[in-house]
Structure 1
Amino acid sequence: MTPDQVKLVQESFAKVAPISEQAAMIFYERLFEVAPAVKAMFPADMTEQRKKLMATLAVVVNGLSNMSSVLPAASALAKRHVGYGAKPEHYPVVGGALLWTLEKGLGEAWRPDVAAAYGTLSGYMISEAYGGAQAAE
């Protein structure tokens, strides 16, 4: 990620962080709306899952300025998700739900180039979890 992309992601997340509980609810509602089959991968009570999502995003986003500290965590997260049943084709769906949530949460502060920055991290995670060949598919 370029320094400008890092800045965009961090600035956008900082604006959503104050409404993190609501943002997590919106994210999962959107995810389950566009990909109802993935709902079976999650617990019935989503309270802890929503907290984990926002905490994980905070760690990753805040660490983007020091990529060497974030990449091992992102890699481990991606590999853990394989065990949960995540597949490469889930990443665009999850990413789309996340970007949709950010757009709704940021309102007029939304910038489309934020999507490219998030896409860079998603691509890295797919590559780490499934290897370069799967990431390209």
Structure 2
Amino acid sequence: MLTPAQVNLIQISFEEALSARDDLVTDFYKTLFEKAPSVRGMFSEDMSGQSKKLASMLQLAVRNLNDPAALVGPLHTLGAKHVAYGTQPAHYSVVGEALVESLKNAVGPTWTAEHSEAWNKALSFVSQTMLAGATKATSVEAV
């Protein structure tokens, strides 16, 4: 999956982004809704609860990048929950793009192509794992 150097780069840049922007998650949702206005209706008007959930999941994922197996269960569960919200497979890529853009904006001029590569690789794992959970949940519902 990720090299130790990529894990380190993600963990450091995540901390930098959080310290630079206390509204990182708010910026992410603003960027997401600009890129994909059709998903806005999937969220409540009050985003505070959702923002806390996303921040918590991001922290869990970043903290456990050295042990991706520890993320599979929580990400499967999250993917299954997103089926009920109407999340489509195409939404995962735009979410990744919005998150990388928000992180890049927060980190600023020290952001490099290596940051983007590492984050995109990690988010690809997250997306694929969530989609596997969504597929599993959908196939169980169909039975």
TM-score bin (small chain): 0.7 to 0.9
Q: How big is each residue's C-alpha offset from its partner over 1:26-72, in whole Å with a ceiling of 9 and x where there is no partner?
A: 11111111111111110111111111111111011111222222111
Aligned pair 1:116/2:131, yes or no? no
Indicate conservation of the 8 Å contact 2:78/2:133, yes or no.
no
Counterpart-to-counterpart distance in 2, 1:11 and 1:99: 14
Identify the structure with bigger relative contact order (alpha carbons < 8 Å, sequence gap 6+). Answer: 2
The separation in 1 between residues aligned to 2:49 and 2:32, in whole angstroms, is: 17
* Kept after mapping to 2: 8 A contact 1:16/1:23: yes
Distance 1:8 1:126, change over 3 A: farther
Q: Which moved more, 1:13-22 or 1:65-74?
A: 13-22
Cα drift, residue 20 of structure 1? 5.8
Q: Which runs of 5+ in 1 are unaligned?
A: 132-137
The Cα RMSD (Å) is: 1.8
Which deviates more from structure 2 when the two are superposed, residues 113-122 or residues 53-62?
A: 113-122
Q: Deviations over 1:71-129 (max 9, x none)?
A: 11111111111111111010011111111101111112323322233223222322332
Aligned-residue sequence identity (percent) comes to 36
2:106 is aligned to 105
2:25 corresponds to: 24
Higher Rg:
2
5+ residue gaps, structure 2, are 137-143
Alpha-carbon offset, residue 21 of structure 1? 4.0
Assess if the C-alpha contact under 8 Å between 1:41 and 1:84 holds in 2: yes
TM-score, reference length from structure 1: 0.84
Alpha carbons of 1:51 and 1:21: their partners in 2 closer, same or farther (altered >3 Å)?
farther
How many Å separate the matches in 2 of 1:130 and 1:124? 10
Residue type at the aligned position of 1:112: S
